[in-house]
Amino acid sequence: MNAPDKFTSLLSLTREPFPASHKCVIPGSRPDLFVPVRDVQLTNGETVSLYDTSGPYTDPKVEIDVRRGLPDVRGAWIAERNDTESYEGRMHHALDDGAKNEDRDAQRLAELRAGASALQRTPRRAKSGANVTQMHYARRGIVTPEMEYVALRENGKREWMAEYLANEERAKRVAGNPMGASIPRIITPEFVRDEVARGRAIIPANINHPEVEPMAIGRNFKVKINANIGNSAVTSSIEEEVEKLVWAIRWGADNVMDLSTGKNIHTTRDWIVRNSPVPIGTVPIYQALEKVGGVAEDLTWEIYRDTLIEQAEQGVDYFTIHAGLRLPFIHLTADRMTGIVSRGGSIMAKWCIAHHKESFLYTHFEDICDIMKAYDVSFSLGDGLRPGSGADANDEAQFAELRTLGELTQIAWKHDVQTMIEGPGHVPMHMIQSNMDEQLKHCHEAPFYTLGPLTIDIAPGYDHIASAIGAAMIGWAGTAMLCYVTPKEHLGLPDRDDVKQGIIAYKIAAHAADVAKGHPGARSRDDALSKARFEFRWQDQFNLGLDPDTAREFHDETLPKDSSKVAHFCSMCGPKFCSMKITQEVREYAAKKGVAEAAVLAEGMEEKSKEFMAGGGEMYIPIRAVS
Amino acid sequence: MNAPDKFTSLLSLTREPFPASHKCVIPGSRPDLFVPVRDVQLTNGETVSLYDTSGPYTDPKVEIDVRRGLPDVRGAWIAERNDTESYEGRMHHALDDGAKNEDRDAQRLAELRAGASALQRTPRRAKSGANVTQMHYARRGIVTPEMEYVALRENGKREWMAEYLANEERAKRVAGNPMGASIPRIITPEFVRDEVARGRAIIPANINHPEVEPMAIGRNFKVKINANIGNSAVTSSIEEEVEKLVWAIRWGADNVMDLSTGKNIHTTRDWIVRNSPVPIGTVPIYQALEKVGGVAEDLTWEIYRDTLIEQAEQGVDYFTIHAGLRLPFIHLTADRMTGIVSRGGSIMAKWCIAHHKESFLYTHFEDICDIMKAYDVSFSLGDGLRPGSGADANDEAQFAELRTLGELTQIAWKHDVQTMIEGPGHVPMHMIQSNMDEQLKHCHEAPFYTLGPLTIDIAPGYDHIASAIGAAMIGWAGTAMLCYVTPKEHLGLPDRDDVKQGIIAYKIAAHAADVAKGHPGARSRDDALSKARFEFRWQDQFNLGLDPDTAREFHDETLPKDSSKVAHFCSMCGPKFCSMKITQEVREYAAKKGVAEAAVLAEGMEEKSKEFMAGGGEMYIPIRAVS
C-alpha cells in the first residue's frame, strides 16, 4: 500500500499499554457484550481494576488500521432492534470540507488518495415513524445492551468494597456527602434504564457510531470529562487529529468534542468518528458557518439542517446547539464586562440582530428533535450566553438562557431525545453552588455539562488549574460531565502536552468529586495507592497514579537507581527523616512491648490514657503493629 | 574581591523586574515607613497596582550584595522601642552545621572563606522582663510601625474600588460570601492592632530579622501562601537556596520555610534570613535531630532549647513546634492507613514511645513561650498527626491533637506570643469544612495554616493541582495561609520549575479564596485583566497575569508575530470565529441602529421583548455600544 506521507504520523499512534497493566473484560449477558477494564498488577500480588476510556489502543492484541477504523462494538445490537434502515445518505459536497465548488474535483481526488472514502460507512436512520433513542427504549421499559454495558462499566469490579466496608469507623467517617445524588451501591442495568428514562442520564450513542463503547453521563454515575480537539483556520492538520483523539482517551477523556473549523472538517470528522471508542460531540454551527463563507448573516435553517444530517450520518453522538440564546436576551449582555464569549452564541446573536428575528435554532427546535431521534444524537444544549469573566457570572443573560434550556429540555423529552445542558464558564467559588441549584431547578435534573468553571481570571497559562478548582466543586455539587480547559486557554491552541495537562487536571477534579459524593468504589484507588505509599512500594505508587510516566520520571530525577524504588525512604527527607519509616519503627517497637498493655488499650483508651498521664505514669502503646 | 567559585550562581540572582512593571511605594506616617507595591503600566494608559512579595530584588535601582544581606527595613523601629538589648549571643558550634567537633577548624575556615560570618548580625533580645511581641504591644493599645506597614500593604491602592462599586448590579451580584470573616472595606492600622491583640492575626517579625517587610496572616486579611525550600541529606547545595528564596518570592510566596536537614544548615539559614524580605519559618526539631546524630531517642530538652535560641538569634520568624502530639494520642494512629506522616511528628512520637514519657515540647511549653517572647518568634503549632491519606482524614488522632493545639494557644496567648495553627494534609472535599469548623471552635480564631489539603491520593506528579482544589476551598472557609505543594510532592525534591509551579497553583488558590470571600479590591485585578482580554489588549492580558512570561510564551507559540498581539482575534478561533470580535460587531451594529429603540429598551425590557416576539415583530437591540 502506498500510504501518502501525510499518514506517517498516524502509523505511529500511541499504543503502549500502561505499565504493569493489561486489558481485561467484564463479561455481560450475551457473548458479544463485554466491557474492557484495565487491571493493574501490584508488586504485592494484588490487582486493581480501573475504568478504562482508552479503547483498543492500549491492547497490544488488537491490530488497528486507522484507514479502516475500529472494530464494531454494537452494530449487531442496532441491527437486531430492527427499527433502522440503511440508505444512500446525503451526498458529500466539496463545500462540506470548506472547498469551493470549482475545487470539487481536486478535493475528491485528494480524498480518494487519502483513503478517506473507505472510512465512510453507509448511514443508517430510523425507519419511518420509528424513534431509535436510548431514552425511547428506556421509557418503554427496555434494557438495551448499551444500558447493560454502562451498568457493568460503572460498577467495575468493586473488589475493594468489602475491605473498605470492613473498617466501620473509617467507612462511616469518610462516607461522602452526595449533595442530593442517589448513587446505589451496585449499578444494575435496570437502574441505568430508569435514569435514562427520566432524563437524569444520557448514553450518547449515535446508531451510526457502532464503534463506541457505551458510557453514561448523569449525576448518579461517575463524573465524566470531555476533551476538545480540532484544527483551526490558523494551524493544525488532519493527521494530528486522530492521534490527538487517541492521546486524549489514553489519559482519560470520556468524551471528545471535535471543534474543527478549518478546511477538510468533514473528512477529519470521518477519521475521528471511525477511530473513536468514545462518544464524539460537535458544534454543527461551526461547519454551517464555513459553508456560508464565514458570514453569520448568511446562515439559513436549510444549511444548518443539512449540516445536522450530514454529521448525524457520520455518527456524531451529540450536538451542541445554542437554541436557548433567544433574541430577547441579547441586549442583556450589553453591560457585560466581556459580552458574549461563546463562538456559537456570538454567531447566533449576530444572525438574530442582523435579521431582527428570533433564532432559527429556537423556532425550528422540534424539527431538530426529529433529526436527533432518527439517529439517536443527543442534545448538548449550548450556553451561548455563559459568562466570560467572573464579573459576568450568574447574570440575567446567563440565567434567562438557562431557563430557556429547561423549556427546551421538556420539548426534547417529549420526543424522547436524550439531552444534557451546558454550563459556565467563569464563576467565582462562592457563586458555583447557585449555578447547580438553578440548573437542577429549571432543567429537571437533565445532566449538567460545564466548562470549568474558572474561579479567577488572572491565571492565563494556568487556567487548567484555575478551572479544575471550580470543576471539582461543581462536580461534587452534581455536574455530570466536566469540559476540560488546557493551559493554553485564552492564549492559543493546545498541543499534545497541553491536552494531557488539561485532561489530568480534569481527572483530578472528577475523581475529587466522586470521592466527595461517596461514589461506591471511588476511594478504592486512593486507598490502594496510599497503602502502596506507606509500604514503600514505589512501582505500585507510580502505576496506580493518573500518570505513571510522570510520577516515575519525577522520582527518578533525584533517586534514579533501581534500588531506591524499594528503598524505605525517598529523596524528599532522606533516610534519617522519613516519617513513614519512623512510623513503622514506632509500630514495630510497640509490637515488641506491651501485650499486657494492649488489653488495657482495648477498652476506653483515651480516658484511661488521660488518667494515666495525669498520674505521671507510663505510656500506653499502640495496639497493633503493621501486619 | 576574590569571591569564591561557589558564589557564581548567587551573583546571577533573578533580578529582572516584571514586564511593564515598576516598583512604587505607598508612604506611611513617618519617613522611614513606605510600602513597596508593583505598578503595572497598561497600554491604555491605566495603571494597576499589585501587592508585591518580591522585595528589593525586582527593583533595578537597589544594589544587592548577597554577602552583605538586604538593607534594614525596621531596625530603627525596634531600637526606638528601647526594650531590647544586643548581646554576644550563643557561640556558633561546628555541630550546628552538622559537623563533628573534630571538624571544627576546617569548618570555621570554610565559613570565613565563604564570607558567611559577615552575615551574622549581633543578636538582640528583650531586656530582662520585657516582652517584645507585636501581640504584647497590640494588647497595650500600641500601633507599631509594623502594624501600620501591614495596613498600608493590605489596602494597596484600591484604585478600582470606585469603578467596581459604580456598577451596583454587578457589585451586589458578585459580592463575596465571607464565611464568617469580617473584612473591613479599608484596613486601618488600628484594625491590624486589634486583630493582632485578639490573636486573630499574626505579624511574624523576629526582632533579629529587621530586613523583613512586615505582613499579616489572619482570616480578615488577604490569604497568604508559604513556600518550602531547603536542602536535604541527599541533594541540593547552599548556593541554590538563596536563589530559591528569591525565585519563590518573585512568584508570590508570602512566607518561606527553610526545611534544610543536611550539613551546613546554620550557615544556610544565615544566608537565607539575611537576604529575605519575607518571614522565614523553620522546624527546629530537624536541626536538633542532626545534633544528636539522627537518633530521635537521644533528643533532650536542653539540645532543643539551645536550637531554639540559636535560630531565634539568627532571626527566624516562626517555629513549627509539634507540641500537640501528646503521648496518649500516639496509639490512635495504629489503625491508620498511613500512620504518622509528619517528619517532626514521627520524631516526637518515636521519642515518646522510646522513653515512655510525655513529649518535652508539651511539658516545656511555657519555657518555650519565654524564648518566643524574648525575640518575637511566632508559634506555628505543628500538626504532627495530620492525615497522610484521605482514608485517615478527620480521625480522632488528628482532632485530639487539634484540641490540644487550642489549649496551647491559650497558654501562648497568656504570654502574648503570636500563634498560628497548622492543619492538614490529605482531606477529601466533603470533609474540608469541618476541619475549619473544628479549628475555629477549639483554637479561638488563631490563624489556620494548612498544607493543601490534597483532595485525592491518586495524582502523584500533579499534587499541586489535587491540593490547590482543597487549598482554595479551605482558604475561602477561613484559612489564613496555605502551604504550597509542588508537583514533586511524594516523589522527590522540587527543582526551580517545581517551586514556581507550586507557587502559581497556590496563588490561584489564595486569590480564588479572596475573590470568594469578597476581599475588597481582590476582584480588581480580575476585572482589569478581563477588560484587557475583551479589548484584545494582549500585552496587558499577559502582564496582569500571575505569570506574564508563560502567558506570552504560550501565545507566541501559535501566533508569534508582534502584529498579532494587537490583532482582534487569536489562534484559538481564527479571525472568522472570534466570539469577542463578533460581540463587538454586534454592539457596533446595534449602536448604529436604534436610538428610538433604546428608549423602549429603557423600560421593562424583558417583558416588552416577550410581547414583541409573541407578536412576531421586529427585535429590540442592545442599549449600549462599547464605550
b/e burial code for range B369-395 (CB count within 10 A of at least 16 → b): bebbbbbbbbbbbbbbbbbbbbbbbbb
- The 10s digit of each residue's pLDDT in A387-444 is 999 999 999 999 999 999 999 999 999 999 999 999 999 999 999 999 999 999 999 9
Buried b (16+ CB within 10 A) or exposed e, B247-258: bbbbbbbbbbbb
pLDDT tens digit string along B404-423? 999 999 999 999 999 999 99
Give the pLDDT confidence score for residue A570 in this predicted structure. 52
Contacts of A454 in chain B (CB under 8 A): none
B460-495, pLDDT tens digit by residue?
A: 999 999 999 999 999 999 999 999 999 999 998 888
Chain A from 284 to 303: CB within 8 A of any B CB: 286, 289, 294, 296
When pLDDT is averaged across residues A238-260 and rounded to a whole number, the result is 89
By C-alpha distance, which of B610, B594, B606, B589 is closest to A350?
Answer: B589
DSSP per position, B1-63: ----GGGHHHHT---PPPTTEEEEEEE-SSTT-EEEEEEEEPTTS-EEEEE--SGGGG-TTS-
Calculate ∠ Cα A409-A413-A415, nearest 5°: 125
Task: Annotate A496-505 with b (16+ C-beta within 10 A) or e (fewer).
Answer: eebbbbbbbb
Interface of A with B in 312-331 (CB under 8 A): 326-328, 330-331
Reported as a single tens digit per residue, the pLDDT across A499-519 is 999 999 999 999 999 999 998
Burial class (CB in 10 A: 0-12, 13-18, 19+), A519: buried
B158 burial via Cβ count (<10 Å: 0-12, 13-18, 19+): middle
Give pLDDT, residue B615.
34
* End-to-end CA, chain A: 60
Q: Give the relative orientation of helices B463-477 and B432-443 as an angle to the nearest 10 degrees.
A: 50
- Give tens-digit pLDDT for A9-60: 444 789 999 999 999 999 999 999 999 999 999 999 999 999 999 999 999 9
Residue of B272, B319, B484, B510 lying closest to B418 (CA atoms): B319
Q: Say yes or no for a CB contact (<8 Å) between B492 and A558.
A: yes
Residues of chain A with CATH 3.20.20.540: 152-523
Give residue A105's pLDDT band: very low, low, confident or very high (50, 70, 90).
low
- pLDDT for residue A335: 87
Residue of chain B with shortest Cα separation from A348: B582
Find the CB nearest B456 among A354, A508, A580: A508
Contact, B387 vs B338, CB < 8 A? Answer: yes
Residue B396 pLDDT: 97
Separation CA B231–CA B237 (nearest Å): 6
Report DSSP letters for B47-109, one per residue.
EEEEE--SGGGG-TTS---TTT-PPPSSHHHHHHHT-EEE-------GGGGT--GGGHHHHHH
Q: How confident is the model at residue B96 (pLDDT cuts 50, 70, 90)?
A: confident
φ and ψ at B616, to 5 degrees? 75, 15
β-bridge partners, A229: A258
Q: Which residue of A has its CA nearest to B470?
A: A469
* B181 Cβ under 8 Å from any chain A Cβ: no
- Let me know if domain B152-523 sits in CATH 3.30.980.10: no
User: Residues 6 or more apart from B595 whose CB is under 8 A from it?
Assistant: none
Q: Where are the beta strands (DSSP E) in B480-554?
A: 481-483
Of the two residues B145 and B69, the one the predictor is more confident about is B145
Among A207-221, A322-336, B592-606, the range with the most confident prediction by mean pLDDT is A207-221
pLDDT at B372: 98
pLDDT value of residue A323 = 98
Query: Where residue A94 falls among pLDDT bands split at 50, 70, 90?
Result: confident
Query: In 3D, which of A157, A308, A158, A145 has the Cα closest to residue A212?
Result: A145
User: What are φ and ψ of residue B25, in 5° steps?
Assistant: -130, 150
Closest by CA position to A317, among listed A171, A417, A434: A417
Contact B326, B358 (CB under 8 A): yes
CA–CA distance, A613 with B330 (Å, rounded to integer) = 13
Average pLDDT over residues A557-585: 60
Minimal CA separation from A268 to chain B, in Å: 17
Q: Is A438 on the interface with B (CB under 8 A)?
A: no
> What cell does A222 get?
461517575
Contact between A478 and A448 under an 8 Å Cβ cutoff? The reply is yes
Residue B153 near residue B215, CB atoms below 8 Å: yes
- Write down the pLDDT at residue B106: 60
Q: Is A573 annotated as a binding residue?
A: yes
| Cell reading at A211 | 464503534
pLDDT at A603 over 70: no
Question: Could you tell me if B585 lies within 8 Å of chain A, comparing CB atoms?
Answer: yes
B610 confidence band (pLDDT: 50, 70, 90): very low
C-alpha cell at A342: 461563546
Beta bridge pairs of residue A280: A256
Q: For A289-303, write each residue's pLDDT tens digit.
A: 999 998 999 999 999
CA–CA gap between residue A129 and residue A527 (Å, rounded): 51
Which one is predicted more confidently, A611 or B562?
B562
- Tell me the β-bridge partners of B125: B85
A512 near B CB under 8 A: yes
The residues, ordered by sequence, that sit 6+ positions from B441 with a Cβ below 8 Å of its Cβ are none
The stretch A207-236 carries a mean pLDDT of 87
Residue of A nearest to B233 (CA): A574
Per CB-CB distance under 8 Å, the chain A contacts of B459 are: 504, 508, 545-547
| A46 φ/ψ angles, rounded to the nearest 5 degrees | -75, 160
Which among B229, B445, B448, B208 is positioned nearest to B317, based on CA atoms? Answer: B208
Please check whether residue B8 touches A, CB under 8 A: no
Q: How far apart are CA B558 and CA A486, in angstroms?
A: 15
Percent of chain A having pLDDT more than 90?
70
For testing the chain A interface, which of B173, B399, B430 should be mutated: the one with the most A CBs within 10 Å? B430
Which is higher by pLDDT, A583 or B131?
B131
Q: Mutating which of A464, A538, A579 best tests the B interface, going by the most B Cβ atoms within 10 A?
A: A579
pLDDT of residue A157: 78
Angle between helices B365-375 and B301-314 (to 10 degrees): 10
CB contact under 8 A, B391 and A526: yes
Question: Nearest to residue B544, comparing CAs of B15, B14, B21?
Answer: B21
Q: Which of residues 12-41 of B touch A (CB under 8 A)?
A: none
Q: Which of B216, B212, B157 is nearest to B189 (CA)?
A: B216
Would you place residue B620 in the very low, low, confident or very high pLDDT band (cuts 50, 70, 90)?
Answer: very low
Q: Residue A622: list chain B partners with CB under 8 A.
A: 330-331, 333-334
**What pLDDT was estimated at residue A604?**
37
The Cα A605–Cα A555 span in angstroms is 40
ipTM score for this prediction: 0.91
What is residue A332's DSSP assignment? G
Assign A155 a pLDDT band (cuts: 50, 70, 90): very high
In chain A, the largest separation of any two C-alpha atoms, in whole Å, equals 98
Strand arrangement, sheet containing A47-51: A21-27, A34-41, A47-51
Read off the DSSP letter of residue B377.
Answer: P
What is the spatial distance between Cα B167 and Cα B471, in angstroms, rounded to a whole number? 31
A385 labelled ligand-binding: yes
Query: Would you say A384 is a known binding-site residue?
Result: yes
The residue-averaged pLDDT of B374-384 equals 98
- DSSP-derived pairing of the beta strands A47-51 and A34-41: antiparallel
pTM confidence score:
0.91
Q: What is the largest CA-CA distance in chain B?
A: 98
Output the DSSP codes for B389-414: SGGGTT-HHHHHHHHHHHHHHHHHHH
Residues of A in contact with B504 (CB under 8 A): 459, 462, 465
For B305-314, the pLDDT digits (tens) are 999 999 999 9
**What is the CB-side half-sphere exposure of residue A602 using CA atoms within 13 A?**
6
Average pLDDT score over residue span A369-388: 98
Q: For the ranges A440-454, A567-581, B8-22, which has the lowest average pLDDT?
A: A567-581
Q: Report pLDDT digits (tens) over B142-200.
A: 999 999 999 999 998 775 566 667 788 998 999 999 999 999 989 999 999 999 999 99
B492: which 3 cell numbers? 522527590
Residue B120 Rama label (left phi>0; alpha psi -120 to 50; beta): beta
Residues in B 112-151 with any Cβ partner in A closer than 8 A: none
Rounded to 5°, the CA angle A48-A227-A194 comes to 65
C-alpha cell at A409: 429540555
Look at residue B271 and give its three-state secondary structure.
helix
Per-residue pLDDT tens digits for A548-567 = 999 999 998 876 565 556 55
Residues 450-509 of B with CB under 8 A from A: 455-462, 464-466, 468-469, 472-473, 476, 487-488, 490-493, 495, 504-505, 507-509
Residue B215 in grid coordinates: 505582613
In this prediction, residue B68 carries a pLDDT of: 86
- The more confident residue out of A73 and A97 is A73
| Per-residue pLDDT at A627 exceeds 50 | no
C-alpha separations of B294 from A237, A439, A578, A586, B261 in Å: 59, 58, 11, 15, 10
d(CA B205, CA B197): 15
pLDDT band at B597 (very low <50, low <70, confident <90, very high): very low
In this structure, the number of other CB atoms found within 10 A of the CB of residue B186 comes to 12
What are the residues facing A341 on neighbouring strands?
A: none
Task: Name the least confident of A187-191, A279-283, B113-117.
Answer: B113-117
* Cα A466 off chain centre by: 18
Residues of A in contact with B601 (CB under 8 A): 331
Mean pLDDT of A90-115: 66
Angle ∠(B88,B89,B94) on CA atoms, nearest 5: 120
pLDDT at A540 over 90: yes
Q: What is the DSSP string of A344-406?
A: HHHHHHHHHHHHTS--HHHHTHHHHHHHHHHHTPEEEE--TT--SSGGGTT-HHHHHHHHHHH
Whether B589 sits inside 8 A of A530 (CB atoms) is no
Nearest to B342 among A356, A430, A579 (CB): A579
Mean pLDDT across chain A: 86
3-state class percentages of chain B: helix first, strand second, coil last, to nearest 5: 50, 10, 40
Task: Give tens-digit pLDDT for B253-272.
Answer: 999 999 988 778 898 899 89
> Who among A358, A546, A577 is closest to B343 (CB)?
A577
In this structure, are strands B34-41 and B47-51 parallel, antiparallel, or unpaired?
Answer: antiparallel
